[in-house]
Structure 1
Amino acid sequence: MSSTTPSIISDGDTGGKEKTARRSTTRSANTGGQVKQQVSKQLESMREKLELRPAHWQSSIDGEKTISTPSETQADTLAPIFPVLDSSLLPARVADVDIALEWMIELFHEYHANYHPHLPIINPTIPIETIYTESPLLFKTILFIVTRHNAHSMSRDFHKQLVDPIRKSIADLSINPNNSALDMGIQALLLLGSWPLPFGKQSDDGSWLYCGIATHLAMQNGFHRPGFAQEFREKCFSRDDLKVRTVSWIACFLINFSLSLKLGVPCTITPDFTIRNPSVELPPKLKHHLMIATACSNFIPALSNNPFSATGLIEPSSRWSLVQLFDSELEALLTSNPSFPESEILLLTNRLHIQTFVMHEDIQSTVGSLETSGVMIKAFRTAVKLITVISSERKKGVLQYYPTYINRSLVFASLWLLKLIAFSHTREPSPLLDTQAIETAENHIREAFTLLEGFSVVDEDESMRAAKFVEIIGGGGKSANGWWGKSVRMRSRMGSGLYYDAIWEKKEIERAELKSVGTAEGEHGNGSGSRDGDGENGENTSASTGRSPFCNFNISTDNEAAEVQNNRDIPTVEVHPPEGATWNWADLDAVPIDQSFWGMLGDRDGFVSWDNPWDIFGLNPPPIES
């Protein structure tokens, strides 16, 4: 295949021998044609409507009309920041903590100086007492965000004390959303999507839920149609009201897209007219963020939101072509447009997510390692630059004020570098990276670990857990089942597949350690396991533990059954329905598995026939007959 950007759909791609007439011939043919048509339409739509060239992106974001006039903008600049007009309305005690008026004002001013520029959705000229009386949730949220890194001796305890009152206020907003300060409540939820409440594990992070509440409340009240606000709420709206609603809706999209990227799920907001053509003058930094998110929110679904595929992925040749196209567009945007460090971090992170799609086994086997090496070298440069830009922000003394997406960016860049180092070792005598590049990668991984540790505030917070994750997964680079030198196994998590693959590997390492300890105790210290997973005894961690990383069912390690079509070491599953359970699910015959994890074990044309219909969720499919 040529190194230049190929056509999106190859005319000669008919599926070859793998398209058989075993089952639903017409359905398979129609499905393939629909996928091709869909991809073609998506690309054509992006070329014509999204205006892929960076110069066009800029013009589409600027819009033709603005609500704010120069005189209004100047007036906002000259207005006092978070003034206090009537201090008697402010509390002397918040969350069971005494708070002096001077310190409260200081905290709000610090929020405006250090945090507001990252998500400028609050009108900073509103008096503090107005925020407190109309939206206690927003009032406490601002204090919570600022006290995370505030130098005051009481900040740490105050920060912890605010968590439960904020959660209670969120519950109150969910129960009674139709209050006069709905816009402030939505803004508070969006801020918590960027600076979340503490959580013990990723599944406990409420950011995605809070963003969903904010998005639905905003849509229910017409924030996505600011010019027709009266059709959603029977009240008169001022020009400032319409500006707040527009910016809040744009923030809903930005936070939604950022969190969906983190979770590896589709963004639930499609860029609409208000997002593409905002009728207000946006701050330059927010405008850059919107430009990047609008483009990438169309790029990533084009690769991974195929309705005719169980994983959402489009077929390999089209996916490979789109990855090259989208990557070149983001590279052009990066090099031809001045940007802010925050925008550059977002752009580089999104680019790594798109480049991750080349790590799938079907692309590696279909396109070839030599063709994909070019994108992987670009990913190396992207990851190194991403860590470098973040490090420069730490040297400026501003990194601590960033939203917590910075944690995921550092982890993701580190995982890419670890993966590339391993790929280099597996491709001897023609390694992907030379000795100097490998040394550069290792230095930047260490820098990412240091940055994550420095971003941490208390033990076991998200940043510290992220740092330990990089340390554990980095130490296991030579471990277990050779994961580092293989393709990305997670296929339904979009560009985040590499991250969740690493979580799987981390669990495998931990299982190997537990087995090693158990063996040592059972054999009086003569266990054969290795803590780091090195050596022959660490090569088959999955099989030795007898547990699947996806479910708690026993797995069979029979060698013949383990030979799947892509020759990867994926064990089959022995299905044992729960004791006493009765199942009456619909017939799942000819369910379109396509390229899903379990579909790799089935028919090559993407369909399998399940004789056992009780597991509709696909967690424990029956053994595939050879």
Structure 2
Amino acid sequence: MSQLQSNPLPPLHSQSMKRHQACTSCRQVKLRCDNAQTFPAACTRCRKNNLQCQVDPNFRRIRTKHRLSEVTQELTALQKKLAEKSNEDSQQGTAALAGDSAPQDGNGETILDDGFYFMSSLQDLPHPTPYLGDIELKPDQAVALFEHFHEHYYRHCPILNTRRSVAALYSRSPFLFWTIIIISSRHHPTLGFLCDVLTEPYRSLLEKTMMAPLNALEPIQGGVLLCVWPLNVRKQIYDPSWNYCGLVTNAAIRMGLHRSGGYRRENISPTEIRAQSKTWMACCFLNYSHMWQTGVCLLPEVPNMLTTIPTPHSKMEKEFLAKNSVLRLYAKTTTVLGNLNENVDVAFLQYLCKDLDSLRKGNKEIWNPEADIILLGAQLCIYTQHLERTSRRDGSAQRKVLISENDSSADILANIVFGIASRLITTFTSPESQIRPYVPKHYFQLLLLASTLILKLSVVYPSVIGPMEVLVQNLIAQAYQNLDSWSVREGDDFYRAARLIEALAQAQKKHQLKMKEARNALGSGITVLRDAIVTHRALRGEDEDEGMLQRQAVHVRDFGQNGREGITITKDESLGERPRYPDGTEYVDASSWEPRVQDAFTDWNLPWGWDPAWSQDFGINMDANMFL
């Protein structure tokens, strides 16, 4: 974009205009505010007192005299309304108990949202105590982490067959068991230390599992959960979630999970069929959520293979299906727009996005702020992709003839994108939404996308975004403070995202932000986030290009009950055999990963149109993108 390479832009407001740097909380009490120095973080006073730190030029101090009687009246009225609502809810609950019953499956078993793995007694827990590497997981820790996962994580991806004990789950699939443990421990208030000590041995278990054939449902489900909540990586380019997404998707297709009847076996229960159908829906959800970054679409027939699960549906399943339907429609819309070579009118984009809005109306009973974030994110990606395509047009004769019309269209698009990004950030950071750090990574990536988009628009379209400088400042501050508060360890995803926003926001406030373009970008998706990362590296004085990822080979250990001691790897030199583990499986050395991964890929028909076996011809580095 030629506009992105221009000189630093002049201030969005004239220098003569009075600028209010103090936040509203400090102005209310007439205290000095250091908001200008701490931006995008909250000022020192607001951070110390846990107050909302916002700047508003139109703010007027509220006189505190004679306010006691007014506040008392407001409180009395609020208590009266709450009492009336409580009575209405109790009456509705009584009527519901006397009338409709909970949905049941084909065996007459009730479908409930509050059911999870059985763990009410010691017999329901793994015995003897499970080890991962040298780390012992005590029974009370296992119970606490499974309860934490059920309360905060599971509703985002309710794909498991939970009508069994935790001990049965561990016996059936240690990989799925430890995946739940590692995800749940990441933000647990008291057991967060387990995430740090279990990560490295879990990586070894992950490597061993992913290199073996995925011919059972539980390993696929573990891979799905790991893609929804990936492990922390040092840099985003090292996140292998896209590769794991391909593995589990192809494994699901080979098992026939994409068929309406699921993977049929003798005496298979309706509960198992539901779990298989939901697992396939989750695989599609993963592919859809990666589309805006990679620009790679599933084949047209894949989104139509299986679009629902056997009825009836619980509330949790309805919410899951509603979010999936949003991303499925987004995938179809993106495919349609990608096949159009001519310029697309803004009115046509608005018409397509109305179909997404209709999903909100059709699912009014179970719609929530999380579904709203998914919908706003889909609309944001559709408009942004077209805006980037408009900005990349060359200086051809047709461009010179239509320059005024195209510039006007770009301004309209910039306004629309800014409005959607603002709503997404507001919905995400609003206390009423109650968005917590347990949401899938896709949510927080949309928040980061919206934040970097607003900063980029303020640079590229100053005439459009300039009058909203204060709003830009407040939105960026909200996004930064939200991400910064979620960071639990230095270097995690939230920490890096907050540092990225902080660096760009400070440069933008000083009118020194020059957005750069990423070179050799992988894929054809939306580039604004990659451009922001490159710009951040430039602000730190680092070069954009990075060397290949060098990762030290790890020693794969046994994952049975007695994991304290290392494995004795046997090798029969006379027979020329490769080293093997005690269970007979072949020892996998890190140097042999790449050819084996390529062999596994070439044996499968990749539905998203990418052939890793030939990826070197397209400049894709297998080492940097495949390895953990």
Number of the residue aligned with 1:169? 205
The one-letter code sitting in structure 2 at the alignment partner of 1:302 is V
The question of whether the paired residues in 1 share the 8 Å contact of 2:380 and 2:417 is answered with yes
Given candidates 68, 74, 77, the residue that maps to 2:105 is 68
Map 1:93-108 to 2 at 5 A: 93-95=130-132, 96-108=134-146
The change in CA–CA distance for 1:503 and 1:178 in structure 2 (over 3 A counts) is closer
The change in CA–CA distance for 1:82 and 1:191 in structure 2 (over 3 A counts) is farther
Worse-matched range after superposition: 79-88 or 212-221: 79-88
Secondary structure at 1:368 match in 2: helix
- Once the two structures are TM-superposed, the CA of residue 401 in structure 1 deviates from its matched residue by 1.4
Task: Give the % identical residues.
Answer: 24
Distance in 2 between the 1:374 and 1:301 partners? 23
- Once the two structures are TM-superposed, the CA of residue 67 in structure 1 deviates from its matched residue by 8.9
1:418 aligns with 2:455: yes
The change in CA–CA distance for 1:174 and 1:72 in structure 2 (over 3 A counts) is same
The question of whether the paired residues in 1 share the 8 Å contact of 2:295 and 2:525 is answered with yes
1:295-324 per-residue CA deviation (whole Å, 9 max, x = no partner) reads 0011112233x4xxxxxxx42414756534
Where does the alignment leave 5 or more consecutive residues of structure 1 unmatched? 1-65, 307-313, 426-430, 515-546, 553-614, 620-626
- Once the two structures are TM-superposed, the CA of residue 403 in structure 1 deviates from its matched residue by 1.4
Number of the residue aligned with 1:299? 333
- Once the two structures are TM-superposed, the CA of residue 129 in structure 1 deviates from its matched residue by 0.3
- Once the two structures are TM-superposed, the CA of residue 389 in structure 1 deviates from its matched residue by 1.3
Number of the residue aligned with 1:310? none
Given candidates 498, 505, 509, the residue that maps to 2:539 is 509
The question of whether the paired residues in 2 share the 8 Å contact of 1:353 and 1:495 is answered with no
Distance in 2 between the 1:265 and 1:464 partners? 28
The question of whether the paired residues in 2 share the 8 Å contact of 1:148 and 1:156 is answered with yes
Distance in 2 between the 1:157 and 1:189 partners? 23
Number of the residue aligned with 2:480? 449
1:594-625 per-residue CA deviation (whole Å, 9 max, x = no partner) reads xxxxxxxxxxxxxxxxxxxxx97589xxxxxx
1:468-491 per-residue CA deviation (whole Å, 9 max, x = no partner) reads 11122233338999745x999999
1:119 aligns with 2:157: yes
The one-letter code sitting in structure 2 at the alignment partner of 1:198 is N
Distance in 2 between the 1:412 and 1:384 partners? 11
The change in CA–CA distance for 1:350 and 1:616 in structure 2 (over 3 A counts) is same
The change in CA–CA distance for 1:271 and 1:204 in structure 2 (over 3 A counts) is same
The question of whether the paired residues in 2 share the 8 Å contact of 1:223 and 1:248 is answered with yes
Distance in 1 between the 2:617 and 2:278 partners? 42
Map 1:157-556 to 2 at 5 A: 157-177=193-213, 182-227=216-261, 229-230=263-264, 235-267=266-298, 270-282=301-313, 283-304=317-338, 306=339, 314-318=340-344, 322-334=348-360, 338=364, 339-356=367-384, 357-360=386-389, 361-362=391-392, 365=399, 366=402, 367-392=405-430, 398-425=435-462, 431-433=463-465, 435=467, 437-477=468-508, 483-484=514-515, 493-510=523-540, 513=541
Distance in 1 between the 2:387 and 2:490 partners? 36
The one-letter code sitting in structure 1 at the alignment partner of 2:307 is R
- Once the two structures are TM-superposed, the CA of residue 390 in structure 1 deviates from its matched residue by 1.2
Number of the residue aligned with 1:141? 179
Distance in 2 between the 1:218 and 1:279 partners? 18
The change in CA–CA distance for 1:263 and 1:166 in structure 2 (over 3 A counts) is farther
Secondary structure at 1:476 match in 2: helix
Distance in 2 between the 1:252 and 1:82 partners? 28
- Once the two structures are TM-superposed, the CA of residue 158 in structure 1 deviates from its matched residue by 1.1
The question of whether the paired residues in 2 share the 8 Å contact of 1:449 and 1:467 is answered with yes
- Once the two structures are TM-superposed, the CA of residue 273 in structure 1 deviates from its matched residue by 4.2
- Once the two structures are TM-superposed, the CA of residue 455 in structure 1 deviates from its matched residue by 1.6
The question of whether the paired residues in 2 share the 8 Å contact of 1:261 and 1:495 is answered with yes
Secondary structure at 2:268 match in 1: coil
Secondary structure at 2:256 match in 1: coil
Distance in 2 between the 1:156 and 1:168 partners? 20
Distance in 1 between the 2:147 and 2:325 partners? 29
Distance in 1 between the 2:268 and 2:149 partners? 28
Secondary structure at 2:465 match in 1: coil
Normalising to structure 1: TM-score of the pair?
0.62
The one-letter code sitting in structure 2 at the alignment partner of 1:352 is L
The one-letter code sitting in structure 1 at the alignment partner of 2:451 is S
Distance in 2 between the 1:489 and 1:163 partners? 33
- Once the two structures are TM-superposed, the CA of residue 238 in structure 1 deviates from its matched residue by 2.4
The one-letter code sitting in structure 1 at the alignment partner of 2:201 is P
1:340-371 per-residue CA deviation (whole Å, 9 max, x = no partner) reads 11111111111111111223325695552222
Secondary structure at 1:349 match in 2: helix
- Once the two structures are TM-superposed, the CA of residue 499 in structure 1 deviates from its matched residue by 1.3
The change in CA–CA distance for 1:265 and 1:218 in structure 2 (over 3 A counts) is same
- Once the two structures are TM-superposed, the CA of residue 459 in structure 1 deviates from its matched residue by 0.2
The question of whether the paired residues in 1 share the 8 Å contact of 2:233 and 2:493 is answered with yes
The change in CA–CA distance for 1:272 and 1:347 in structure 2 (over 3 A counts) is closer
Secondary structure at 2:417 match in 1: helix
The question of whether the paired residues in 1 share the 8 Å contact of 2:483 and 2:494 is answered with yes
- Once the two structures are TM-superposed, the CA of residue 207 in structure 1 deviates from its matched residue by 1.4
1:178-202 per-residue CA deviation (whole Å, 9 max, x = no partner) reads 66xx211111111111111121111
1:142-187 per-residue CA deviation (whole Å, 9 max, x = no partner) reads 11111111122xx2331122223332333333343366xx211111
The one-letter code sitting in structure 1 at the alignment partner of 2:491 is E
The two structures, once aligned, show a CA RMSD in angstroms of 3.5
1:61-87 per-residue CA deviation (whole Å, 9 max, x = no partner) reads xxxxx9935943347767875555725
Number of the residue aligned with 1:12? none
Where does the alignment leave 5 or more consecutive residues of structure 2 unmatched? 1-102, 549-615, 621-628
Worse-matched range after superposition: 447-456 or 368-377: 368-377
Number of the residue aligned with 1:517? none
Worse-matched range after superposition: 169-178 or 373-382: 169-178
Secondary structure at 2:527 match in 1: helix
- Once the two structures are TM-superposed, the CA of residue 331 in structure 1 deviates from its matched residue by 4.3
The change in CA–CA distance for 1:278 and 1:210 in structure 2 (over 3 A counts) is same
1:221-261 per-residue CA deviation (whole Å, 9 max, x = no partner) reads 1111242634xxx6542222211111100011001211333
Distance in 2 between the 1:438 and 1:489 partners? 30
The change in CA–CA distance for 1:236 and 1:459 in structure 2 (over 3 A counts) is same
The question of whether the paired residues in 1 share the 8 Å contact of 2:484 and 2:498 is answered with yes
Secondary structure at 1:196 match in 2: coil
Distance in 2 between the 1:508 and 1:74 partners? 54
The change in CA–CA distance for 1:80 and 1:167 in structure 2 (over 3 A counts) is closer
The change in CA–CA distance for 1:276 and 1:172 in structure 2 (over 3 A counts) is same
Secondary structure at 1:73 match in 2: coil
The one-letter code sitting in structure 2 at the alignment partner of 1:212 is G
